[in-house]
Amino acid sequence: MSATQQPATSHSAQTNAQSRVEELRRVIQKASYDYYVLDNPTLPDEVYDRLYRELQELEKQHPELITPDSPTQRVGERPAARFNSVKHNVPLYSLENAFNIAEFGNWQERWRRVAPDVQSFEYVCELKIDGNALALTYENGVLVRGATRGDGITGEDVTQNVKTIRSIPLRLNLDNPPPIVEVRGEAFLSLEVFEQINKEREQAGEALFANPRNATAGTLRQLDSKVVAKRRLDFFAYTLQIPGMLSEGVQEEAPPAESSIAVSSESPGGQLGLFDGDGGQSPANGEFKIPQTQIDSLDVLSQMGFKVNPNRVLCKSLEEVGDYYDRFSTERLNLPYMTDGVVVKINSLSLQQRLGFTQKFPRWAVALKYPAEEAPTIVENISVNVGRTGAVTPLAELRPVQLAGTTVSRATLHNADRVAELDIRIGDTVIVRKAGEIIPEVLRVLPELRPAGTQAFQMPSCCPECSQPLVREDNEAVTRCVNVSCPAILREAIIHWASKGALDIRGLGEKWVLQFVKHGLIQTVADLYDLTIDQLMQVERMGKKSAQNLVEAIDRSKQQPWSRVLYGLGIRHIGSVNAQTLVENFPTVDSLAQAEMAEIASIYGIGDEIAQAVYQWFRVPANLALVDRLRAAGLQLASGADSIRPKTGGLVGKTFVVTGTLPTLKRDEAKALIQEAGGKVSDSVSKKTDYLVVGDDAGSKLEKAQKLGITQLSEAQLLELVASLKE
């Protein structure tokens, strides 16, 4: 073969490979759409696998043919180093809440006052999926960015993880897509997958996720997309935004009347092509106008290749909305995913645009929430748990019951007074709910179902762990064990010491703490710093490498600042914020230990109760001996120059409260940022609060701040404020 013939042969092979790659992608994408979106598999698994492997091999041989929207690119090759903060093209506003039809009626009256001339209107009811909002950006039909909601203005770029969600198309089913399309929706975990994840975590000795929403949030923030892929996140789309069309109350310019979206009958699932009436592509059969309503937007999203929740209904009155709400108050319990309410939107997108937004919410949508979920079950036993402060908490051990997406088998009874108030007994039928949708608690007892011969529960007089007498102070509801050598107190104290907010000893979880206490290796937190690799290797299932890693992690904890050490000591009422406040005023452990109670109480934000707890703790000889051992071990018991908050700075005299989950900063990081700029951080909102830094899922602190007229800041605004002080 001549030299001049070789390039032609090579070019021919390249062309054939490209043609085959494109064909394989089309078939695989169609099969994925049928399976993950339509729930209607059309290709046998073994055939799918063979075609997928063939595509992988061709892309390996011809890496120049790899594109971002290839099915092989759903899982990244290496973990991300961190998530970048990104600004949303259009803000993701939260929704105003209503908790019954009467409150929904009040919301309707408010928006109608803004548009009194509107006589005819419709609502779209959609289930409020309990997951995490995502904003997906497509350029020329290809997914280029997936971002979390964050504070609504900025979120985290989690594109690599979003690509692992099979119900999110990497390429839109559009023949001729617009330059930019943005899709909003909810990432979530099915209940079946959620339970499987928690089973695997339990077997691995890891902490369980509280609910599917938390598990989804934790999954989206995984740096390794391969871990995300294994957790099988799902996605429902609910908002479509194209520049030039009305959506989410945003309009760049009115779309031309002749603009439309055409559906090709030859495309899988209805493939869309955008065109306008001035030329270009001709309308195909099944032509769709660019959506002017929310209900049409949902249909178009489905045709684009997204999974859209099928339980959507067009309602023409408040009464029809009420019927939908009532229907799903019970039907939602049979759904394979969590939903905590109904989102009601005005159907007309032009009316949405006219109504606009309040400072925080769209006027054209509301979340009609369901009450906290409750369920009946039977009390099989009543036990008590001893915490790190010696508090003895009674617990109802229950016949397992499904509650807010999780299986509940234990619920707190709080204290002896609550037990007496409920008159709860073994064998009782009780109503259980999740307080704040997180902590299971017994709401009430059904005495009419009580078996004969039951006896009232009595709190024990001695500690179930160490058998020492329990004590209850006259002014307290809590019963306590005051034996500082109690194994339960020791166990919980060490777990707290190693926790992320305290000394942050990686790898020292509850499982190992139990083993170390059982083997007599540790009796106080100071004993951790005497542990050797040889000692740890005597513990069952502790290998040399694990022992070495743990000893190194314990050694690194010696560099944690004095404020974290103080918090880690577990003194009653001392959280991380109070610890920082005390350290600012008492820069050494000796100055705090020698301080009088009145001196401690005089500090803003501390008060008599906290001062008494600190003062008394440093009057116990065993505690002073512990401090001496920690000092000898090399722990930081004094503030260095960089760990003391500056007494000067742009935020001096300003008090901040942080609430909710921030998009990029951990709460401790936000507090440190404020303190470094001279500001003060408090745990509670009061008239003295200057700013409330608000994250996702903010609760009662936000409501109180709104009533007091306190200025609210997003994370982005906080960062901007702090940055401006450095200029």
Catalytic residue numbers read 128
CA atoms of 436 and 699, how far apart (whole Å): 10
Residue 618 backbone zone (phi > 0: left; psi -120 to 50: alpha; other: beta): alpha
Which tokens hold the place of 647? 């007494």
| Runs of H (alpha helix) within 369-486 | 416-422
Rounded to whole angstroms, the Cα distance separating 516 from 527 reads 10
Q: Beta-carbon neighbour count of residue 724 at 10 Å?
A: 9
Best CA proximity match to 300, nearest among 324, 271, 265, 280: 271
Smallest CA-to-CA distance from 307 within 327, 328, 336, 284 is with 336
3-state secondary structure 81-100: CCCCEEECCCCCCCCEEECC
Length of the chain as a residue count? 727
Closest CA to 572 of 472, 660, 656, 480: 480
Provide the pairing of β-strand 391-403 with 374-386: antiparallel
Instruction: Tell me the backbone φ, ψ of residue 63, rounded to 5 degrees.
Output: -60, -20
State the CB neighbour count (10 A cutoff) for residue 88: 19
Pairing of strands 680-682, 655-659: parallel
SS (H, E, C) 515-574: HHHHCCCCCCHHHHHHCCHHHHCCCCCCCHHHHHHHHHHHHHHHHCCHHHHHHHCCCCCC
What radius of gyration do the chain's Cα atoms show?
30
Q: How far is CA 47 from CA 28, 55, 542, in A?
A: 10, 12, 44
91: Cβ contacts below 8 Å, ≥ 6 apart: 152, 153
Distance between CA 596 and CA 578 in Å, rounded?
A: 17
Task: Kindly give the residue spans of alpha helices, DSSP state H, lying in 657-714.
Answer: 667-676, 700-708
Do the Cβ atoms of 694 and 718 come closer than 8 Å? no
